[in-house]
Chain A
Amino acid sequence: MESRSHAGAVPSTLTRHQLLDEQGVVAEDPLLSPYAADITVEELQHLYRSMTLARRVDEEGTSLQRQGQLVLWVPLRGQEAAQVGSVWPTHPSDRIYPSYREHAVAFERGVPPAELMRYFRGLSAGGWDPEQYNLNPYTVVLGSQTLHAVGYAMGASLDRKAAEDSGSPLDGDPEAVIAYFGDGASTEGEVHEAMVFAASYDAPVLFFIQNNQWAISVPFATQSRVPLATRAAGYGFEGLRVDGNDILGVVAATRYALEKLRRGEGPVLIEAETYRMGAHTTADDPTKYREREEEDQWGHLDPIERLRVHLRTVHCVDQAFFDTVAAENDAVARQMRADVLAMSPPEFVDRFDGVYAEPHSLVAAERAEYLDYQAGFVAQDDSQDSDSEGVGA
């Protein structure tokens, strides 16, 4: 990895928040501690279950891809705390805009693992129903979804305002929106515009950056001189830098941000510092650009191990719990594999139906042409079949 020094650089003075340290011991943080104080051991066990399930399905994804059953897999290993910790505090009514690695977010939102695999098996361009889970489909063009999240959040504010003005205010908490993206995506121009718009319109949006230190082979040092959370100040909103492998810290920071958004004091940016422990995708080879030593260092900061130690030592959770969870996760992974293998390919002709909401003469004509063309093959095959039958008889 290249080290970069910059004459004239202005260092960031942002605090790095942490609640659960590397040894699984709870640390005090003046800002965030109150936001994690009421988390019960049952809730911690839920978080553990979600994190380990995501990891187990992730492993199955890699193995399915290796066996030729997926066109691609995007591993999330190492980012379980950042993902589970940020989505768990949301309400079902909060809209989520993921990037493309947020499998743990999707599972926590209720997307069945096999449903998500439809995308990676090359069967679907989206996968799940966005309305059902209040979860946008994955967005692969880096950063594009951040603007959509801002617009969606603007709409949520406008709706609430309109309801108030009309004398029948909406029930329940104001909605919040989360836009997930990476350290690499953070440098795309559209992300800048998203932050400008969010600031201008006080949009209740949380920009949640998983800084996993790498954008394929591009190290974080290329993207930024300072922690990305520093950028928020430039737009005039709050940016929090949190240990992204610390599930408590991520939960607390997210709760803090969501409260702020619901009070109409958004946007907020959270930078969760974590690590992409695996390859960028199954098509990637990280040995080409990063050192084993670095991987090992981060390996000691594993978010799941940290929570396991905490549960065991502080809450005296016994081995049976961990064994049960592992067995349950295995069962989910096995079921997912079976479901994936049983999926039938889509019909190409259906693609003509999904493009426009209203009839489109060109698409209708090309659909008919396609069917005609296919029918030509069937006719040919039939005639060949009857020929061969003739010979055989």
Chain B
Amino acid sequence: MSKLTVAKAITAGLARAMEENPKVMLLGEDIGSLGGVYRVTEGLKARFGAHRVLDTPLGEAGIVGTAVGLAVRGYRPVCEIQFDGFTFPAFNQITTQVAKLRARTEGRLSVPMTIRIPYGGVIGSVEHHSESPEALFAHTAGLRILTPSNAQDAYWMEQQAIACDDPVIIFEPKRRYWLKGEVDEENSPGDPFAAAVIHEGTDATVVAWGPMVPVALAAAKAAEEDGRSVEVIDLRSLSPIDFDTVTASVRRTGRLVIAHEAPTFGGLGGEIAARVTERAFYSLEAPVLRVGAYHLPYPPAAVEDHYIPDLDRVLEALDRSFAY
């Protein structure tokens, strides 16, 4: 057991995967000598060599596209995209090639690669550094999507993604990179694609992922003071989504609030709301409610707090749910 930040847990997870499998290699901008702008790959170039930690030229399509070739060739490439908003030069490669090569070849070629994308806001930065584009990728068949909310998951999910024979995108909650937690290097938390009930409750369920998980937990604590028992689910995987765990919880609590940083419109909250309504309609005491950002481009830092859902917005949604 070690106490690590989320960022250092990812470093440790990557290092272990590289130790155990010589075919694992990292590609990205500034990931070598600098160790990445968030220092997530710090020390890995010195330890594993420039042939396994590639400080690439600047080109996201280049990073992801060459990783496809490397993966087909038998490597396990891990691509780093520097910030969420810079994923899009690689959008073509990710959605038309990474996601589809296996289906195109009727299973003859696999693309076992990992794409790490630091995502989410409230870091007080300029445009393109604070986005939550997970729904754009979840909508594309052929990709798996993970998002850790804590150090233990961060450590293991990197390794599980690398070991997976399908392409996996890991959305890393950059504003939680410094969040510390216990990492158990011996015992894996199990299936990375399963959701986790991280706080039990009986009156309502809050589903969150990545950077919003601590907010959801804070909401459960605050609700407790008002005598409400709120269950919190950390979704962990955004493709596939573990609807069984969510549905089972809602059958018990009768109420569901989904909170994410991404805009509400067209966000994954809508998909969860629809599935749960289909599966547990007669258990619902209130409509499923969503808390997300507005249908606006991510705003300048001075007003980002108004855009991203916070504790108050989650509590307000819970109040509305209880009011039915």
B109 on the A face (CB < 8 A): no
* Given known A-B contacts A346-B302, A355-B297, A187 and B127 have beta carbons under 8 A apart: no
**Residue on A nearest B303 in the bound complex, by CB:** A348
Give, as a whole number of angstroms, the nearest-CB distance from B5 to chain A.
18
* CB-based contact B88/A141 at 8 Å: yes
Residue in chain A with minimal CB distance to B29: A218
**B residues near A, CB below 8 A?**
29-30, 32-35, 37, 50, 55-62, 85-86, 88-89, 124-128, 265, 294-297, 299-303, 306-307, 312-313, 316
Please name the residue on chain A nearest to B42 by beta carbon.
A288
Q: Which of A269-297 contact B (CB under 8 A)?
A: 283-284, 288-289
> Is the beta-carbon distance between B62 and A125 smaller than 8 angstroms?
no
Question: What are 5 contact pairs spanning A and B, CB under 8 A?
Answer: A122-B302, A215-B29, A222-B57, A346-B303, A355-B296
Contact present for A187 and B299 (CB under 8 Å): no
Q: Which residues of A contact B296 (CB under 8 A)?
A: 351-352, 355, 363, 366
* Distance to closest chain B CB from A323 (angstroms): 36
Question: Which of B32, B295, B312 meets A366, CB within 8 Å?
Answer: B295
| Cβ contact within 8 Å between B37 and A283 | yes
Contact yes or no, A223 B58, CB < 8 A? yes
- Given A71-B125, A218-B58, A223-B58, A366 and B294 contact (CB-CB distance below 8 Å): yes
Are A289 and B303 touching (Cβ within 8 A)? Answer: no
Instruction: Give complex CA distance A185, B313 in Å.
Output: 40
**Binding site of B, secondary structure by majority: helix, strand, loop or mixed?**
loop
Judged by a CB distance under 8 angstroms, whether A195 is at the interface is no
Contact status A187-B57, CB under 8 Å: yes
The residue that B301 contacts in the complex, of A122, A188, A373, with Cβ under 8 A, is A122
- A360 contacts across to B, CB distance below 8 A: 295
- CB nearest to A121 among chain B residues: B302
**A345 and B295: CB pair below 8 A?**
no
A71 contacts B301, C-beta separation under 8 Å: yes
Shortest beta-carbon distance from A225 to chain B in Å: 11
Give the interface centre of B33, B59, B127, B265 by most chain A CB atoms within 10 Å: B59
Q: Which of A367-382 contact B (CB under 8 A)?
A: 370, 373, 376-377
Interface size class of A (residues with CB under 8 A): 35 or more
Q: Which chain A residues lie closer than 8 Å to B29 at the CB level?
A: 215-216, 218
**Given the complex, which residues of A lie within 8 Å of B126, measured CB to CB?**
71-72, 119-120, 122, 140
Given A121-B302, A345-B302, A348-B306, are A216 and B124 neighbors across the interface (CB < 8 Å)?
no
Q: Point out the residues of chain A lying under 8 angstroms from B127, CB to CB.
A: 125, 140
A226 contacts B by Cβ under 8 Å: no
Contacting pair B128 A140 (CB below 8 A): yes
**Do residues A222 and B299 form an inter-chain contact, with CB atoms below 8 A?**
no
Q: Which 3 A-B pairs have the closest CB atoms?
A: A122-B301, A217-B34, A348-B306
B33:A217 contact, CB within 8 angstroms: yes
- Asked whether A184 is an interface residue with its Cβ less than 8 Å from the other chain, the reply is yes
CB distance B57 to A223 under 8 Å? Answer: yes
Residues of B within 8 A of A124 (CB): 300
Q: Which residues of A contact B55 (CB under 8 A)?
A: 217-218, 222
Once bound together, how far apart are the Cα atoms of A289 and B58, in whole Å? 16
Instruction: Say yes or no: A218-B124 contact (C-beta < 8 A), given A125-B300, A345-B302.
Output: no
B126 to chain A, nearest CB (A): 6
A283: chain B residues at CB < 8 Å are 37
Q: Which residues of A contact B89 (CB under 8 A)?
A: 141-143, 188-190
How many angstroms between the C-alpha atoms of A71 and B301 in the bound complex?
8
Question: Which residue of chain A has its CB nearest to the CB of B319?
Answer: A376
Cβ 8 A contact of B124, one of A71, A123, A143: A71
Given that A123-B302, A363-B295 are known contacts, is A288 also in contact with B86, CB under 8 Å in the complex?
no
Q: Which residues of A contact B294 (CB under 8 A)?
A: 351-352, 363, 366, 370
Q: Give A254 Cβ to nearest chain B Cβ, in Å.
A: 25
For A348, list chain B residues within 8 Å (CB).
299, 303, 306-307
Contact A216 B265 (CB under 8 A): no
Query: Does A362 belong to the interface (CB within 8 Å)?
Result: yes
Known: A124-B300, A348-B306. A185 touches B34 (CB 8 A): no
Tell me the bound Cα distance from A123 to B86 in angstroms: 22
Q: A345 touching B34 by the CB < 8 A rule? A: no
A2 interface residue (CB < 8 Å to B): yes
Cβ contacts under 8 Å, A122 to chain B? 124, 126, 300-302
Report how far A246 CA is from B37 CA in the complex, Å.
32
Since A288-B35, A351-B303, A377-B312 are in contact, a sample of 9 more A-B pairs with Cβ atoms closer than 8 Å, ordered by chain A residue number, is A119-B126, A121-B302, A124-B300, A184-B57, A217-B33, A217-B34, A218-B57, A218-B58, A366-B296
Q: Of A123, A142, A185, which is in contact with the most chain B CB atoms at under 10 Å from its CB?
A: A142
Q: Is there contact, CB below 8 Å, between A222 and B56?
A: yes
The residue in chain B whose Cβ has the minimal distance to the Cβ of A376 is B316
**Within the assembled complex, what's the spacing in Å between the Cα atoms of A123 and B265?**
25
